[in-house]
Amino acid sequence: MTNSAVPERLPNYDPNIRFDLDETQREILDQADRFARNELYPLAPRMDEEEWWPEEAFPKMGEAGYFGITVPEEYGGVGMDLFTSGLLLQAFGRWNHALALSWVAHENLCLNNIFRNANEAQRKKYLPDLCSGKKTGALGLTEPGAGSDALGSMRTTARKEGDEYVLNGSKIYITNGPVADILLIYAKTDKEKGAHGISAFIVEKDFPGFKVAQKLIKMGYRGSQTAELVFEECRVPAENRVGEENRGVQIVMSGLDLERAMISPLCLGVAERALELSIEYAQTRQQFGKPIGKFQMVQSMLAEMYVDVETLRTFTYRGLAAAEELEVGSGPRGDIHMLTAASVMYAGQAVNRVLDNAMQIHGGSGYIWESEVNRLYRSIKLLEIGAGTTEVRKMIIAGELLKDMK
């Protein structure tokens, strides 16, 4: 196992000095960075080695005020904005990207979605425990036969029986699935209407008929728990339906734009850490009697990494700022839809390039499973296939650019 001691910052590389953030935002990023470096970084090696879930992590993050960022204080939240959430995710991604992935699934996909779309009774019932970290949230959309066509190919159904809905079907690749207490689940309430016959439901893990079918072991982001979920005559109170019946597509689509905006800062955090590790290695690794950082080929790779990281930062912040304009309950529209897709598309590709160069600089030491850069490298592919593949992102962008074409 690698040494999990808190690392020192390089004196000539400080990713927290940002002239494009205001003073308050820089302080938020600095504080989150210190918290993640001290509290989350030491957990990362064991999470990766054992697919281990640190049960104390979420309550500790909740106690520190790192949940419910976009939720008003009356529900137990912090009452800030999506941009602030992105800054926190960026910091968490630097030091424990697996836990950062679980954080964003809880914070953005579940908690923020419930706040944006639930009624007052649902908010009061579920948000306080999610904001405190006492309970863990997840979102269930993807199915074994429904990935990129998640809405059109959805087979999970919900039929109304008195004051309950009865859910049948399965969901797969669900982040936080094995540890979630509260899940936001999409199911078809009117199969004849296709994608426009979907509704959203809040499901508690103890509802009869719900079970975790299997925990899935992954190549990267290990320790962030992922599962297949099964609903067999799962009974959900009708009062747990979120929004109107057959109007779930609006919740899905507005949530997907926010999800895309919030994936980018995770990529940014990983890329920043990879660059920092590579600079340190180039300064200390000796070959032919001098540090490898003296060689122009290594310098070239570092320069390319730096340009990718800084471009990624700019695009990430722009996407977050644009996503702030999405109204509660609104669907995708125009430039925001295109911009968030472009942001996460670039982020996934850029972090791939950064880690490829980082591995090349580290050479054999980076190829060793237990090294930190190897752990980062194994994370990169997920962000080109999760939250919509790169190919789907291209379709979204091109569709907006050519929407007036006859």
For residues 346 and 40, give the distance between their C-alpha atoms in angstroms, rounded to a whole number.
27
Question: Which string of DSSP letters, residue by residue, matches 231-297?
Answer: EEEEEEEGGGEESSTT-HHHHHHHHHHHHHHHHHHHHHHHHHHHHHHHHHHHHH-EETTEEGGGSHH
- The helix/strand/coil state of 181 is coil
Pairing type for strands 286-287 and 241-242 reads unpaired
Q: Do 3 and 11 contact (CB within 8 A), yes or no?
A: no
Q: How far apart are CA 267 and CA 97, in angstroms?
A: 9
Diameter over CA atoms, the chain: 79
Residue with tokens 């979630």: 180
Q: How far is CA 239 from CA 116, 198, 210, 244, 305, in A?
A: 17, 16, 18, 11, 50
- In degrees, to the nearest 5, what angle opens at C-alpha 183 toward C-alphas 49 and 383? 50
d(CA 320, CA 317): 5
Catalytic site residue from 259, 272, 276, 384: 259
- Torsion 266-268-270-273 (CA) sign: negative
27: annotated active-site residue: no
Please calculate the CA angle 314-319-323 and round it to the nearest 5 degrees: 150
DSSP 403: T
Distance CA 108, CA 115 (A): 10
End-to-end Cα distance, the chain: 59
Tokens 């789907």, located at residue: 392
Candidates 13, 62, 61; CA nearest to 40 is 61
The residues carrying an active-site annotation are 259
